[in-house]
Amino acid sequence: MVKIISAKEAASLIKSGESIMFGGFLAVGSAETIIEELKELGTSDLEMIVIATDYEDKGVGILVSNKQVSSIKTSHIGTNKATQNQMNNNEIKVDLIPQGTLLEQIRSAGAGLGGVLTPTGLGTVVAEGKQVIEVDGKEFLLEKPISADFALIRAKKADKYGNLVYDKTARNSNPIMATAAKITIAEVDEIVEAGEIPAEDVVTPGVFVDYLVLKK
């Protein structure tokens, strides 16, 4: 069985300078309770991997606004002026990655693959410094796997073995990120006994989950 801890305990596991994958998109499906505890602890110099940096006062954007993040791999910063301003002022390093490519890079890490071949970005700044591989006369960029020290994900329900069920579109990047970190912490609305979640409903198997946090 996985260990059940508080949001504060979860946040305290993360040290300055470590990399974190944050599930969610525009704060939907994000582990907001743990994020709030990270803000309170003031853990700094974080490397963030996320689809979008959400808003200045919501989701992962709280950590950006509080200047706790040193670098971000993301696809979308358009709803967070703090991210934009810090990037333009060279206060934060932002690596903009096409969303499909970003998730495939994370999936590759989770699956133990050497990367993914994609035509997206060929002939643009996205291709700078990257290996181009030809397959059957077509060119592709080699995008290497992306992993992290931690994945902070959000699910609707877990059993005590860590098997997870998600809530509609709040599922988004969470299942993929759960597979690609050294330590995965899932914030959930409900924890039930082992066997109470039908096997066919499980999206993320408990083998990928290290800790559960029950959202208060």
Could you tell me if residue 137 is left (phi over 0), alpha (psi between -120 and 50 degrees) or otherwise beta? Answer: left
Distance of CA 39 to the CA centre of its chain: 17
Rounded to two decimals, what is the model's pTM? 0.95
10-residue averages of pLDDT along the chain (216 residues): 95 98 96 97 97 96 97 97 97 96 97 97 92 97 98 98 96 97 98 96 97 94
Q: Name the residue ranges covered by the structural domains of the chain.
A: 3-97+145-214
Rounded Cα–Cα distance for residues 101 and 103 (Å): 6
> At residue 104, what is the residue type?
E
Rounded Cα–Cα distance for residues 197 and 183 (Å): 23
Tell me what pLDDT residue 216 has. 79
Tell me what pLDDT residue 1 has. 81
Q: Give φ, ψ of 118 to 5 degrees.
A: -145, 145
Rounded Cα–Cα distance for residues 201 and 194 (Å): 13
In words, the CATH class of domain 3-97+145-214 is: alpha beta
